[in-house]
Amino acid sequence: MWKNYHIVETTDELISLLNQQLGNKKIIAGGTDLMVEMHNGKWGDLETILDISRIAGLDQIWRKPDGRICIEALVTHNDVIRSPLLREFAAPLVQACWRVATPQLRNRATVVGNLVTASPANDTITPLMAMDASVVLVSARGKRIVNLKDFYLGVRKTVLEADEFVESVQFQPLPHTIKANFLKSALRRTQAISVLNCCVLLEMDGKQIHKAVITL
């Protein structure tokens, strides 16, 4: 399935390895998407796996000085569900994470990994795009910030370069004047892949809607 497996312990080490000619390589964090894809033969014989699950400090949810909320690369779906900050200021993302698969999978699967897989069935893309989120891409060339709506080129295609990794996803907290909801439609009630999911944000003044955002 692969020839080389690196357990990466720092972001500097990861940047260095990504900058090397290691053939066909993939980053693994939770592994809940990548292992299935490998089992199905999507990536053929991989040369190198870069395991970032042991990088210290890359599992934080925090608020930046400019007010934006930052979800780092190793934050799992259950981390999101447990976060008081996200329950207050990013409720539709919490709702989406709650609808992902099983508790066991939510303990492993990362939100950033969900975004990188770039499947239209992935639940977290919808609320994060509604909240006008951006992803922070890092390489030896430096950092660049890409709006999530510009991150995707098509089904399972992104602008992520071979020497880059997604360090975090960030967004402005939803003000309390916004009413928000996430809904998922699937072929069964639990442990199901989305047929359709939807996030709606309504900016309210009393009963009057000033602005509406709908992502599908």
- Average pLDDT over every residue of 68-78: 98
What digits encode the pLDDT tens for the residues 7-20? 999 999 999 999 99
pTM of the model: 0.93
pLDDT (0 to 100) of residue 189:
72
Chain mean pLDDT for the chain: 93
User: Taking a C-beta distance cutoff of 8 angstroms, is the pair 51, 6 a contact?
Assistant: yes
As given in the structure block, the two tokens for residue 141 are 């060339």
User: Taking a C-beta distance cutoff of 8 angstroms, is the pair 90, 173 a contact?
Assistant: yes
- Average pLDDT over every residue of 22-50: 83
Q: How far apart are CA 72 and CA 179, in angstroms?
A: 26
